[in-house]
Amino acid sequence: MDLSTTKVTFYNGNTIPVIGLGTWRSPPGQVTQAVKDAIDVGYRHFDCAHAYRNEHEVGNGLTAKIEEGVIEREDVFITSKLWNTFHLPEQVEHACRTTLRNLQTDFLDLYLIHWPMAYKEGDDLAPKHPDGTIIFSDADYVNTWKAMEKLVDDGLVKNIGVSNFNCKQVQRVLDVARIKPVVNQIENHAYLHQAKLTAFCAEKGIVITAYSPLGSPANRPQTNDIPLFEDENLKTIAAKYCRDPGQILIRYQIQQGHVVIPKSVTKSRIASNFDVFSFELDDADVKLLASLERDQRVCPEARALGHPHYPF
């Protein structure tokens, strides 16, 4: 493949930078500087969500660099996501406009339905019963999708997609879609390939965006399994290319044709994660990484177990 390839093209001809800065669980007070550092490094894609509770900080970082003249709004690709408590069609535009205000922009390049499950409507992002379990809503994401399409019609959003949807759920959207999803953003790394889902999306012309591409070491469940970053096979491959394990895992996603959104607030790590365009993994190493599959999910959204639209 072309080592300098830095964008992926959607079925509609629009493009997305192949690497973006993830902002999930980035500590409050550090996100603005991380965004500014990422722009200085060369990032032009930022992955956000209302549920991350830090979109205002992302907006501050983007606005600062625009005001400095380093970038213009059209230079960057901004993704955000519709949270589970806003799935009713009449709430979608309001939720989107809240995100636009927080990000200090007039439009989003990509807006995703964050999860297929709907929670009880309201501003509480995790509404709970007295016993602590999540209160579900019976809103159906296929109706939510029609409201997402209207956002495109109205110019608030350029592209729409889904996140954490399984094959059957993607197909249900396709069955009703006037504008089909450009992306399915899913957990994807060497311990969790979701091969059936990625093949299905490829067949349908839907791009995979891989979140937690490094195995989310900071958010891993406590198990006796070896963390991906400590896998001896990965260490061997990294040594072969004189690269760190994170760069190998990011390059691995790119060579599968995926968009990848590693998260960091440390400038040196942000820079390192972006430095993946000058080398290519050979076929043997790609196969070795593929063989590490453990079906090990670090982001199961387990509090939604029992929801009729739970995807896993």
By annotation, the residues acting in catalysis are 52
Q: 3-state SS string over 153-201?
A: HCCCECCEEEECCCHHHHHHHHHHCCCCCCEEEEECECCECCHHHHHHH
Sheet holding 183-187, edge to edge: 21-22, 45-47, 77-82, 110-113, 160-163, 183-187, 207-211, 259-260
CA 182 to CA 15: how far, in whole Å? Answer: 10
CA 195 to CA 214: how far, in whole Å? Answer: 17
CA 143 to CA 62: how far, in whole Å? Answer: 33
Estimate to the nearest angstrom the gap between the alpha carbon of 153 and the chain centroid: 23
Neighbours of 260 (CB within 10 A): 28
User: Residue 114, annotated ligand binder?
Assistant: yes
Nearest to 111 by CA among 123, 100, 124, 125: 100
At 264 the three-state DSSP class reads coil
Instruction: Give the CA radius of gyration of the chain.
Output: 19
**Phi, psi of 306, rounded to the nearest 5 degrees:** 100, -15
Task: Please list the residues that pair with 186 across neighbouring strands.
Answer: 210
At 92 the three-state DSSP class reads helix
CA 147 to CA 162: how far, in whole Å? Answer: 13
Binding-site sequence positions for substrate: 114
